[in-house]
Structure 1
Amino acid sequence: MDNKQRLRRLVVAAAVATLAGVAGGPGALAAGDDGVITGGGGDNPREADLKRERAPVQPGPLKFGAESYDAVSSAASSAAGSADCDISADAATYLTLSPTWPEVAGNGEAPSPMTLSRYDDQTSLADPEQRGNGLFFNPGVGMWQLDSAGLGTEETAATAIDSVSAAKTMAPYIVGKYCSAVSGGSSAAEARAAAWTDWHACDEGACEDVYQRLSSDGLTTDTSVKRHGGASARECTYEGTTYDCLYVDPSKAQGADAWTAPDFGPAPLPDPFYVFTYTENGTDYEVRYWLDADSGAGEDVSASRALGTDARDRLSWETETDLCDTTAGRGNC
């Protein structure tokens, strides 16, 4: 992907956005060897309803990955210490944790840091050449379901899955919203509700219920659920450059894994993929890369999203040959 290719891609993306607006649906254009641009899919109108339906968390002990809990507790304690309102470290921790079970672990098991959203099934998120059902760019990622349309727009699947980086983002954000509401005259309960407005699973009280359970009963840490929830940190080379990459294989998910069932949601479960950040001309891109060995597509395929944009609006799909997983000796090495 050289500079001229990237510039041509941006021009094509603008053209696709215009066409999608005129046609009222997803658009796709090929630009020679520059990849195929998809976009214009919009949101799934049923997504919010599905999340609300699945939000209530079963009675019983709440579990959370031990490494992930340490990360959240540390980040929340730091956020409480610098907060603009009076909030204890424990309260900040519970406030930060509460959306995770209603979002991704309704059975009360440890939320999986690897969780990938299954509610958006728009064709704009799928491989336009239809080389495999698992070549799909799931936009919501991780325990907090950081979505490229909102809180995850500057995240990649790697940073959203990583409990440490995700907690450092979420704790100050949630505590900050809580304090803003308190400063505006809200009660503690009202401020908690305000802090959780980004999550539809919290709309009908499920997160408040979890918060109260945490406050009275605490939780049990699960040492079998690691920092990345079963995803594997690797080192990869791509176009002659070395990158930190994460290998995401849904079949290896640790913690609550209902989301991996074929019929869990309308969106496909993706085939295993690598994710890394690719920088060019001052712009960072999230790249998800599927090896043929993982997808059976007949060739390697990548999908790229400029950070700060919604995957539903624009993705660039390319046939690839360049990635080598140097840690595991897989790919084009």
Structure 2
Amino acid sequence: MALSAPLRRLLVTVCAPTLLATAITSAHADPAPAEPAPGTPEPATAPTGAAPGERDGTDVDELKLSNAWVPRSQQLRFGAEPLDYVTDAATRAAGSATCSITANEATAMVIAMTWPEVSPSGAPPSPMTLSRYDTQPSLGDPQNRAPGLWFHPGIGMWQLDSAGLGTDFTAAEAMDTKYAAERMAPFIVDKYCARRADGAGRAAARAHAWTDWVACREGACENTYQRALDGVVTDDSVGRYGGAEPRRCWYRGAAHDCMFVDPAAAQGSDWWAAPGGGRSPVAAPFYVIRLDGVRTTELRYWLTLDSGAAGDVEVVRPFGANARGGLTWRQGPGMCDMTAWRGDC
């Protein structure tokens, strides 16, 4: 894909053995307060293994905040293809903004929360990321037919949650960096401009734009924003869907676009994909289908060959419903993955 001029200014590309960095600069950029806010500890090393989710008894928000800071010794990395889509969406959002913001500033602002939220090591945030902090029993199969029958409510590098920004996304849409960026970029830029219109300074307006992300509450996202303005390292191994695979599926007498999600195939930061990587179980490989009708519904479907259950299992969540109380689990009627020719074909 040919790179646009704004994107070329954003990227830092690795050309062995030399690191070539092109800084993002702007007349409107604030002086970089690259240090954590006073009194806020920054981790000396990146969290590894099960660190973010295993400390039972600790408040979830506290866990996120304590793991939000990317150590200064770690470069910020981002998937090359996802960054293309984010840059395109942020450039359009900046072009139609009601306040002064450059495309580069908008791009950095849209990706700033992804590292504190899902990759505090600085590794490329995975578009496939599944939340591992939520342990409500209602998120699991009430019949306990297999350990991997689990509904993760927060999805993707922006952790779009069914209780908030992700309530009208399927998991597949939240993992699709093109689709998600096209919705997140104008949302974030509009929030920024609304606060600027109220008289707030640029840093305060950015903080307001990030209020939907817990990990941003104590300054970690301002830190990554300022660092992203100086450039990020792109990673060609992280694709648009982060390892999830678009397929075609036959379900209830009709063909549907579907997404196959196997946590073991995650691209980018994948600490969350390990069984011990968080508080909740990690889902067995599953399919996602959007069912449009009187009320749009997200379907997640487990073939018996993936989950180990005695039969197929499905769970549905109507758009607008919080998964923590809005799921319906039932026996699957049979589904065929027509792309890979697996399942009930």
Q: TM-score, normalised by structure 2?
A: 0.82
1:40 alignment partner in structure 2? none
CA deviation map 1:41-96 (0-9, x unaligned): xxx99322221111111222211111100000000000000001000000000000
Out of 308, 329, 333, which is 1:321 matched to? 333
Are residues 1:298 and 2:334 paired? no
Partner of 1:52: 65
Structure 2 residue aligned with 1:279, among 275, 279, 292?
Answer: 292
Match in the other structure for 2:322: 310
3-state secondary structure, aligned to 1:245: strand
Q: How does 1:136-155 map to 2 (within 5 A)?
A: 136-155=150-169
Counterpart Cα distance in 2 of 1:272 and 1:46: 29
Q: Which amino acid aligns with 2:265?
A: K
The 2-side partners of 1:301 and 1:54 are apart by 34
1:96-111 map, 5 Å: 96-111=110-125
Give the one of 260, 263, 268 matched to 1:247.
260
**Counterparts of 2:243 and 2:153 in 1: how far apart (Å)?**
19
Give the aligned partner of residue 99 of structure 2: 85
Aligned to 1:184: 198
Structure 2 residue aligned with 1:265: 278
Aligned residue type for 2:173: T
| 1:212 and 2:226 matched | yes
What SS is found at the alignment partner of 1:287? strand
CA distance in 1, matches of 2:300, 2:105: 36
TM alignment of 1:14-53, pairs within 5 A: 46-53=59-66
Contact 1:102/1:207 (8 A) holds in 2: yes
Shift of 1:324: 0.5
Which amino acid counterpart does residue 237 of structure 1 have in structure 2? W
Q: Deviations over 1:127-160 (max 9, x none)?
A: 0000111100000000000000000000000000
Match of 2:79, as an amino acid? G
* Aligned partner letter, 1:148: S
**Residues 149 and 310 of structure 1 are in contact (CA less than 8 Å); yes or no, is this contact kept in structure 2?**
yes
Per the TM alignment, residue 291 of structure 1 is displaced from its structure 2 partner at its CA by: 0.4
What do residues 6-49 of structure 1 show as CA deviations (whole Å, max 9, x unaligned)? xxxxxxxxxxxxxxxxxxxxxxxxxxxxxxxxxxxxxx993222
Structure whose residues are more often helix by fraction: 1
Q: Distance in 2 between matches of 1:182 and 1:190?
A: 8
**Aligned equivalents of 1:260 and 1:53: distance in 2?**
20
- Please list every run of 5 or more consecutive structure 1 residues that lacks an aligned counterpart in the other structure: 1-43
Deviations 1:281-300, CA, capped at 9 Å, x for gaps: x1111000000000001110
Aligned residues: CA RMSD: 1.1
Q: Secondary structure at the match of 2:142?
A: coil
* Alpha-carbon distance between aligned partners in 2 of 1:177 and 1:93, rounded to the nearest angstrom: 14
Q: Which residue of 2 aligns with 1:14?
A: none
Gaps of 5+ in 2: 1-56
> Aligned to 1:120, what secondary structure does the other structure show?
coil
User: SS of the residue aligned with 1:78?
Assistant: helix
Secondary structure of 1:186 counterpart: coil
For residues 109-128 of structure 1, the C-alpha deviation after alignment (integer angstroms, 9 at most, x for no partner) is: 10000000000011000000
Q: Secondary structure at the match of 1:283?
A: coil
For 1:194 and 1:283, the matched residues in 2 are separated by 32
- Does the residue aligned with 1:115 lie in a helix, a strand or coil? coil
Deviant stretches of 4+, over 6 Å: none
Tell me, in whole angstroms, the C-alpha distance in 2 between the residues paired with 1:49 and 1:270: 24
CA distance in 2, matches of 1:289, 1:98: 32
CA contact (8 A) 1:174 1:196 kept: yes
Does the Cα contact within 8 Å between 2:77 and 2:235 map onto a contact in 1? Answer: yes
Letter in 2 for 1:256: S
The whole-number CA distance in structure 2 between the counterparts of 1:212 and 1:278 is 41
Q: Is the 8 A contact 1:321 1:332 kept in 2?
A: no
How far did residue 241 of structure 1 move? 0.6
* Partners of 1:54 and 1:241 in 2: CA distance: 44
2: distance between equivalents of 1:196 and 1:121?
25
